[in-house]
Amino acid sequence: MAKYVMALDAGTTSNRCILFNEKGEICSMAQKEFTQYYPQPGWVEHDANEIWQTQLSVARKAMQNVGASYTDIAAIGITNQRETVILWDRKTGQPVYHAIVWQCRRTADMKAELMEKYPDIADAAYHKTGLVFDPYFSGTKLRWILNNVPGVRERAEAGELAFGTVDSWLIYKLTKGKVHATDFSNASRTLLFNINTCDWDDELCKQLEVPKSVLPTAKPSSADFGESDPEFFGGPIPIRGVAGDQQAALFGQTCYTPGEAKNTYGTGCFMLMNIGDKPLYPNNGLLTTIAWGLDGKVEYALEGSVFVAGAAIQWLRDELKIVDQSPDSEYFATRVKDTNGCYVVPAFTGLGAPYWDPYARGSIVGLTRGVNKYHLIRATLESLAFQTSDVLAAMEEGSGVKLSALKVDGGACKNNFLMQFQSDIINAKVQRPQCVETTAMGASYLAGLAVGFWSSKQDVIKNWALDREFEPEMDADTRAKELKLWKKAVGTTLGWAKD
């Protein structure tokens, strides 16, 4: 009998592999960072081969840690940074260009050109894909590679190239080119996939000038994605679960009932609310996305995307060098009673929901002579909670559901100061589970359900356990004042990089 399900968690700054047992407990974990490339301001790239090599090495390491062989692994689940674009040669498996990362804003002007050429494209895209017409998504990034890398468009139209988000790339490499596929949740983030019909959309592909021959086969999230080549783990392991990182976290948090929501504090901050088996289109800056395909059904979610969350804490560490390690930020933030009137808006790569301004840039406002590094650190942490509050307000308006509790996960949710401030500013309970690796857990559940490692979603729900609940302590007047000043601070960043 297999003992584990393997989750490959392909993140934005590092790749991980986690082995989960039947109780949803972590039995082994390995992690490795990979290089970030910033060729121009606002541009972000990765080396796709480095993504593959680091992911394979951590998978082998996680197995080695517990002496596991391939027969001990029931299935592989893959979860990934979404919207990141890779285009590669079908025969050699070599990328034609660096991966263009979801954070990259190089196609902001292309978006404006397309909207001028096709005045209805934004409205059509929203009602077909559930997405705002924005450079964040894969479609314009893929078009940029096709138009800007010499010879690539011709090769794509000749059927020589394959496009994928990171999940497709890993499936292709693991199966040695036998399978070129993605799941519905990742496909729904490309600006090319119709979430009503669960198929690639002819009109959007035409407008974005993407040849359909490069697109992967889209499948439900718990399905047959082939098996790993025996070379990698000593024998074949079935790949049976795939989901974008945020949908995987929603699944791992067991938000299976419409109205249940989670927020993940990773590089970015992403809040998703399950809305059931029919899409909603609130048109208020939120996205409608496919949550997962499972048991012959598709479920949907509302999503608010914040581009910079944990990355702001990394900025304090790596660029400003005012903290040595990210967890130190909690201690420093509690050295002062407030931010001394200072607000940080970390719009380093534009602003996501509900503003959707690719030209916004970061700012620090309210500086006075008395502001010190502790105030700045505290203000940076508080910015994560303020951005989440903006998204939640839009979500409650769009769904008509008042949230009683928010489930949280991701690295920064371990910060008790931040979680308490989050509860205060949204005036709702914040619930942190014992296992905060819910992204990898969701991928493992989708894979394990496909092979019978877990028999049903009810089986999975039993594994969710509360670590700590935070309740609001801030009074209403203070909350209103803080939110007003935050919105004023955001106003200073809008449109900054335009022209």
* pLDDT value, residue 307: 87
- For 227-279, write each residue's pLDDT tens digit: 999 999 999 999 999 999 999 999 999 999 888 899 999 888 989 999 899 99
Q: Take residue 202 and report the two structure tokens written for it.
A: 């002819």
- What are the beta bridge partners of residue 263? 271, 408
Q: How far apart are CA 285 and CA 353, in angstroms?
A: 5
- Alpha-carbon distance of 449 to 291, in angstroms, equals 16
Confidence at 132, pLDDT banded by 50, 70, 90: confident
- Return the domain boundaries, the chain: 4-245
Contact 165, 137 (CB under 8 A): no
Q: Are 100 and 252 a contacting pair, CB within 8 Å? A: no
- 18 compared with 349, residue with greater pLDDT: 18
| Residue 371 burial (C-beta neighbours within 10 Å; 0-12, 13-18, 19+) | middle
Spatial separation of the C-alpha atoms in residues 437 and 464, rounded to whole Å: 11
Q: Is the pLDDT of residue 448 over 90?
A: yes
Please write down the HEC assignment for all residues of the chain: CCCEEEEEEECCCEEEEEEECCCCCEEEEEEEECCCECCCCCCCEECHHHHHHHHHHHHHHHHHHCCCCHHHEEEEEEEECCCCEEEEECCCCCECCCEECCCCCCCHHHHHHHHHHCCCHHHHHHHHHCCCCCCCCHHHHHHHHHHHCCCHHHHHHCCCEEEECHHHHHHHHHCCCCCCEEEHHHHCCCCCEECCCCEECHHHHHHCCCCHHHCCEEECCECCCCECCHHHHCCCCEEEEEEEHHHHHHHHCCCCCCCCEEEEECCCEEEEEEEECCCCCCCCCCEEEEEEEECCEEEEEEEEEECCCHHHHHHHHHCCCCCCCCCHHHHHHCCCCCCCCCEEECCECEECCCCCECCCCCEEECCCCCCCHHHHHHHHHHHHHHHHHHHHHHHHHHHCCCCCEEEEECHHHHCHHHHHHHHHHHCCEEEEECCCCHHHHHHHHHHHHHHCCCCCHHHHHCCCCEEEEECCCCCHHHHHHHHHHHHHHHHCCCCCCCC
Distance CA 495, CA 489 (A): 13
Indicate whether 284 pLDDT > 90: no
Q: Is the pLDDT confidence value at 335 over 80?
A: yes
Quick one: pLDDT at residue 108?
86
**What is the average pLDDT value for the chain, to the nearest integer?**
94
Those residues with Cβ within 8 angstroms of residue 417's Cβ, 6 or more apart along the chain or in another chain: 330, 333, 334, 381
Name residues whose C-beta falls within 8 Å of residue 318's C-beta, 6 or more positions apart in sequence. Answer: none
pLDDT tens digit sequence for 182-233: 999 999 999 999 999 999 999 999 999 999 999 999 999 999 999 999 999 9
Q: In this predicted model, what pLDDT tens digit does every residue of 391-442 receive, in sequence order?
A: 999 998 888 888 878 999 988 999 999 999 999 999 999 999 998 889 999 9
Q: Which two tokens stand for residue 244?
A: 């974008």
Is 4-245 a CATH 3.30.420.40 domain? yes
pLDDT at 127 over 80: yes
CB 410 within 8 A of CB 373: no
What is the structure's pLDDT at 411?
86
Triad 273, 274, 278: Cα angle to 5°: 125
Which pLDDT score, from 0 to 100, does residue 451 have? 95
CA–CA dist 471, 490 (Å, integer):
26
